[in-house]
Structure 1
Amino acid sequence: MAKLLVVDDEVGIRELLSEILEDEGHDVLTAEDAGQARKLIEENPLDLILLDIWMPDTDGVTLLRELSSQHLIHCPVIMMSGHATIDTAVEATKFGAFDFLEKPISMQRLLSSVSNALAQETPADTESRQQDAETQSEPSEAKAVIYGHNGNELATIPFTLELRDARDSFEKLYLQSVLEEESYSMSKVAARTGLERTHLYRKLKQLEITLPAKEKTA
C-alpha cells in the first residue's frame, strides 16, 4: 500500500480521486491549497503526489519549484490541469514532474500514470545511483520522458537542448498525438488545441509534420 497526496482546490476532484485510489488499496491524504500541501509533505513520508496546477493561493508549478529547491520532494509528482499550456507542462517537467494529466482525467489514464510512477526507483535507490554516477567519467544525461495517454513512453527530450528546440520537440509530439486521436480531422484538432486552422497548418509545416494524402478537413 502506498501513501499518496492529492492536492486540488476542487473538493469534487479531491473526493473522486481519493475514492478511486483508495479502492486500489492506497492510503490517500488530501489538501485543498499549497499551504495544506506543504504541511502534509513535511509531516508525512509520501510515495506519490498528485498536484493541481491552477490553485488560488500558489499555483502547482510554483509550489513544485519551491519544494524542489528546498529538497522536500522525495517521491514522484504527477501534475494535473484542464487549462495548462505546453510551456507549463515543459516547465513542470523541468522541476521534476513525473507525468502530466489533462482534466477531465479518465480512470484508466489515472491508474496507469500512478502505477508507472510508483514503479519508479525509491529515493534511496536514486541516491545510490547518483553516488555511483559520480564515480563514472561521464555524468548521465538529464532528460524529460514524455508519456502517451495509455501510459506508454513516447519519447525523451534531453535537457541539453536549447529551450526553443525542446519546446518544438514537445509541440511536435503533442500535435502528432492529437492528430491521430482525432483521425486527422483538422476542425476537431483546431478546436482541441485552441489554434485557428491557418495557424494550425502553419505550425504543422513549421514542425515538419506530414499529413496523410487525404486528410479530413471536416
Structure 2
Amino acid sequence: MARILVVDDDPAIRQLLTDVLEMDGYEVDTAVDGPAAVRAVEAAAPDFVVLDVMMPGMDGFGVLRAVRELPGEPVPILMLTAAAEPDTNSRAWAGGVDYYLAKPFTADAVLDLIDGVLSNRIDVTGG
C-alpha cells in the first residue's frame, strides 16, 4: 500500500488525516515541522505528501523547495493553507506544488484527491 507523509504543526489536523488515510488502507508517516518533513521524505520516500504552509522553523514553501531539489522522481505534493490569498497560491504553483487546498477542507476532499492521483500513477506504471 502507498505511503503518505502528513506534515502539519496542528496535532488535530495531523490526527484527522492520519485516521482517514489509515482507514482507507494507506501507511501514514507524520512530521510536525519543516526540517522533520524533509528528513522524512529523504528517509521514507513517500508516495504522496500532504504539506501545511504555515509551520514553525521552515514553512511549507521551504519544504517544497527542499523536496523538489532531491534527486529522483518528484513526489506529488498537496499543499494545505489557511492563507488562501492569491500571492500564497501563485507562490505555491511557482514552487512546483501539484495540488493546493485552502483550509478549512474536508478529509474526504483530501482522500479523494490522493486516491485519484495514486490510482492513476499505479495504472500508468502497470503496478
- TM-score of Structure 1 vs Structure 2, range by shorter chain: 0.7 to 0.9
Partner of 1:30: 30
Q: Would you say 1:116 and 2:93 are equivalent positions?
A: no
Deviation at 1:119, TM superposition (A): 3.3
Any idea what the Cα deviations from partners look like across 1:111-165, whole Å, max 9, x if unmatched? 221122213437x96xxxxxxxxxxxxxxxxxxxxxxxxxxxxxxxxxxxxxxxx
1:55-74 alignment runs, 5 A limit: 55-71=55-71, 74=74
Q: Amino acid of the residue matched to residue 12 of structure 1?
A: A
Q: Amino acid of the residue matched to residue 29 of structure 1?
A: D
Deviation at 1:88, TM superposition (A): 1.5
Deviation at 1:91, TM superposition (A): 1.9
User: % of aligned pairs identical?
Assistant: 33
Deviation at 1:73, TM superposition (A): 6.5
Deviation at 1:95, TM superposition (A): 2.4
Deviates most, 89-98 or 70-79: 70-79
Query: CA, structure 1 residues 92+30, in 2 after alignment: closer, same or farther (shift >3 Å)?
Result: same
Deviation at 1:68, TM superposition (A): 1.0
Partner of 1:131: none
Aligned counterparts of 1:54 and 1:71: Cα–Cα separation in 2 = 25
Partner of 1:49: 49
8 Å contact 1:49–1:78 — kept in the other structure? Answer: yes
Helix, strand or coil at the partner of 1:5: strand
Deviation at 1:43, TM superposition (A): 0.6
What TM-score results when the alignment is normalised by the length of structure 1?
0.52
1:2-151 alignment runs, 5 A limit: 2-71=2-71, 74-121=74-121
Deviation at 1:72, TM superposition (A): 6.5
Q: Any unmatched runs of 5+ in structure 2?
A: none
Aligned counterparts of 1:29 and 1:40: Cα–Cα separation in 2 = 8
For the pair shown, the structure with the greater C-alpha radius of gyration is 1
Query: CA, structure 1 residues 48+33, in 2 after alignment: closer, same or farther (shift >3 Å)?
Result: same
Aligned counterparts of 1:106 and 1:79: Cα–Cα separation in 2 = 14
Query: CA, structure 1 residues 7+44, in 2 after alignment: closer, same or farther (shift >3 Å)?
Result: same
Deviation at 1:37, TM superposition (A): 0.8
Any idea what the Cα deviations from partners look like across 1:49-107, whole Å, max 9, x if unmatched? 00000001111012201221243673100000112322222221222211111112113
What TM-score results when the alignment is normalised by the length of structure 2?
0.86
Q: Amino acid of the residue matched to residue 83 of structure 1?
A: A
- Count of aligned pairs between the two proteins: 124
